[in-house]
Structure 1
Amino acid sequence: GLFESIHSVDSLRLAAHLDRIAGEVGLTARGYLQVNAAEEESKGGFREAELREEVVTLMRLEHLQVEGLMSIPPRVESPEAARASFRSLRVLRDELQELSGSALPGLSMGMSHDFEVAIEEGATIVRVGSAIFGPRHVQPGRLAPETG
């Protein structure tokens, strides 16, 4: 396929849509549930309470295999300051596994500036693009992306 998994499944509506489309073409899509743990208006994703309510439904989707959780913590001055956010995502993942009776092995968290702390807190996937390719250049008229 063109990609391994979708890292931004940010709503039950999107999950259901992906499940339906994957079923129509005879595939099983793989994805990570995007969590907006800090409830930042500028970011998408499930709120923690919403995810607790919907995890059983999400895990029962026939053509969407939920592999774990993904989150981008609020910007902080030091990598160590992100530790609580990473730990919170791991604790939420453990709670969701218990609630749903299903494994959620993946934790996609941490970027170039804080990936070491994320790994210490259980990250299985980190995003280190700017460490490899350098900072992103913003085109005029576009919002600056999160850097990491």
Structure 2
Amino acid sequence: MIEVVPSMPDGHGAQLKLRPPRALTAHQFLALFAALAGAMWLVAMLGWWAGNVFAPAFALLDSVIVAAALRWLWRSGERGEEITVGPDVVEVVLLEARRTAPVGTVFRAHPYWVRLCVEKGGERISLASSGRQVEVGAFLGPAERRELADKLQDLLAAASGRNR
């Protein structure tokens, strides 16, 4: 998901907030876990009734593993990137999975010296300046990466004065 937020009141510059796409809401993730755990416990109880005394213990272990895997998957969807393009600076900030708190600035340069590199038909998008390079939007789908490349190209051209 790409969200464009104007960063300056005078209309110069913008901030792009990138988030990985999510197929399920939190409620749907919970319903998925309940369905999977319910099916595991139903089979485990049938196994226990047939004489397998270890089936409930296996179902408990399996439920914990599935819950941990779904939790990790949900948390990995909370990461993101913020790309600020202004008349004086281009900045890329990584956001961690916990409450979108910033991890730190990984790239900072003047927009006139920033190159937008689109490699392999849009599969990899990176910003480069002064020997430093950072990949952006790696978690986005192909169509969103193409959209990101177009928006970055327009914002960089406007910020550096190359669109005149």
Bin of the TM-score, shorter chain as denominator length: under 0.3
User: Which structure: larger Rg?
Assistant: 2
TM-score if structure 2 supplies the norm length?
Answer: 0.26
More helix by share: 2
More strand by share: 2
